[in-house]
Amino acid sequence: MSWFQRNWLTKRRHHPSPLESITVEVFERAAISEGFTIDTAQREAIGALMAPAEHGFYLWGPVGCGKSWILNVYYDAISSSRKRRVHFHEFFHQLHQAINKNGNSIERALDELLNEVDVLCFDEFHVHDVGDSTFIRRMLLALFARPIRLIVTSNYPPDGLLPNPLFHDMFLPTIKVIAEKLEVLEIRGTRDYRLDSEHTQGFSSGVWLSPGTAAQYRELGLSTHGASSAATVTVSGRLLNVVQADHELLWFRFSDLCESKTGSSDYLDLAARHQTWLISDIPSLTELDREPAQRFANLIDVLYDRQILVTFIATVPIHELAATSRGPLDIDRTISRLSQLRHHNESILK
């Protein structure tokens, strides 16, 4: 038993469960305060979430059905500071760094990352990289050996993870572990609630402009000549070309950000340093190779999760951005998130 587990067990004897104060009424009040009514599918999932579970829950459903909202309300209602909510692949990146720091020991790495955490919430759990699949199994087994309740949201049912048929069978042992250890809850919703955004704050208060005319740049107080200017920003020890990078704005051309060798850890670093972004010269994703298109989808995940205010200037409107058959993985989630933006095909001032 690690120091973390011994410490947790000692403290747990003297503290009531931080989940005792969470009831269905907590969700109802949160929905009323945000101006909507919980639908039948959400109510069924919330009711199931209130039941006891030894290790936790795996909450899945289509894009925009309310999974992240339910997770956020649940997390906020936990009457303890001994909790952590994190985008799954952000935690995955942090765990790799901690393992390297702790002599390749996953136990010591988890001790470092989850010291005094009783409840761990993973948002947007998905697996597409076969190289990650074995490590994810090690990570989950190590987590389930700890006295931590794990809450996971995903667009995929457990048996839909790592969907590539060439590699799916390799992930079946991990799928079995998930199904055995977590209570699997499905939200059977068909409505995308993200489309009801009032565009008042965070990511959804951003704008998507197309086709990127000189007039649209002028209305933003920008010059198209600025898009050709040369500046740099440092991320992960290397320089990336930018148009502007200061306390007011981080402005990237699409090619400089997504057609270079960048990844989610870079986007997380930049999002922590800059709260207002502009990404210009965005082409149709169907014109690109899969890698830059996938980087753009990963970038949207980070910007959305971090609630970054973004102005996108593209050659095409959102509905023409990607054909599903050729787009990046999880393109439905990307389009759903982008659809929350105010989008203008002509003047911003109309």
Spell out the domain ranges in the chain.
3-186, 197-344
- Measured CA to CA, the distance from residue 332 to residue 309 in angstroms comes to 21
Residue 163 has pLDDT above 70, yes or no: yes
The rounded mean pLDDT for the chain is 86
Q: Give mean pLDDT, residues 162-185.
A: 93
Sole residue written with tokens 């086709």: 211
- Measured CA to CA, the distance from residue 227 to residue 216 in angstroms comes to 13
What 8-state DSSP symbol labels residue 152? E
**DSSP-assigned states of every residue in 220-260:** TT--GGGGG--EEEEETTEEEEESEESSS-EEEEHHHHHSS
Taken in order 66, 322, 205, 202, the sign of the CA dihedral is: positive
Lowest mean pLDDT among 11-25, 133-147, 180-194: 11-25
Q: Give mean pLDDT, residues 328-349.
A: 80
Class of domain 3-186 (CATH, top level): alpha beta
Examine residue 211 and say whether the peptide bond preceding it is cis (omega within 30 degrees of 0).
Answer: yes
Residue 98 has pLDDT above 70, yes or no: yes
Q: Give mean pLDDT, residues 177-204.
A: 78
Residue 56 has pLDDT above 70, yes or no: yes
User: Residue 194's pLDDT band (boundaries 50, 70, 90)?
Assistant: low
Residue 54 has pLDDT above 60, yes or no: yes
Would you call 16 helix, strand, or coil by DSSP? coil
Q: What are phi and psi of 332, to 5 degrees?
A: -60, -40
Residue 11 has pLDDT above 60, yes or no: no
Q: Which fold has domain 197-344?
A: Rossmann fold (3.40.50)
- Measured CA to CA, the distance from residue 305 to residue 86 in angstroms comes to 9
The whole-number pLDDT of residue 14 equals 43
Report in angstroms the alpha-carbon separations of 18 from 60, 81, 129, 143: 24, 9, 35, 19
Domains 3-186 and 197-344 share a fold: yes
What amino acid is encoded at 248 in this protein? E
What 8-state DSSP symbol labels residue 168? G
The whole-number pLDDT of residue 343 equals 78
